[in-house]
Amino acid sequence: MCGMSERPPQRPEGELIERAQKLSGLSQRKAAPRAGISENRWRNIVSGYQTVSAGVYAPVTGPPDTVARMARAVGVTAEQLDQAGREDAAEELRRLGPLEETDAAGTTVAELAQRLARQEKITAQLVEETAELRRRLTEITGKDPFTPRAG
């Protein structure tokens, strides 16, 4: 691939992804890991070129799977990719399905919901056990063990 002295124009999918990324409020730094790529790679694909050396540019076209992951990271639809002329990436996006939201440790929302449900069940059991212990102590001592003493 020969370098060019003029920057190649931004590709339609790059414009689309850049616009969606800005609308989403995500920085390139936050969006790139959601797509599984580096911030530099994100920038190259969105701009449509990479700098080879001072004043020398090479065109960049993202592979379908990468463009699909980028689109998914910022909420671009397969239909929008089709309209931008990237039917290959649109098909890949359809295959990928929706992005699972994760926390910083990579735990998905579904996993967090399951953990929460387990914790709520344990909490309910503890409340029941506490009530039973309180009832039994009151029965044995004749007074509620949690009533503050006058003093």
pTM of the complete model: 0.64
Read off the pLDDT of residues 32-89 as tens digits, 9 standing for 90 and up. 998 999 999 999 999 999 998 888 999 999 999 999 999 999 999 999 999 999 999 9
Computed from CA positions of residues 101, 105, 106, 110, in that sequence, does the dihedral angle turn out positive or negative?
A: negative
Averaged pLDDT for residues 124-145 = 90
Q: Are the beta carbons of 58 and 45 closer than 8 angstroms?
A: no
At a CB cut-off of 8 Å and minimum separation 6, what does 43 contact?
A: 28
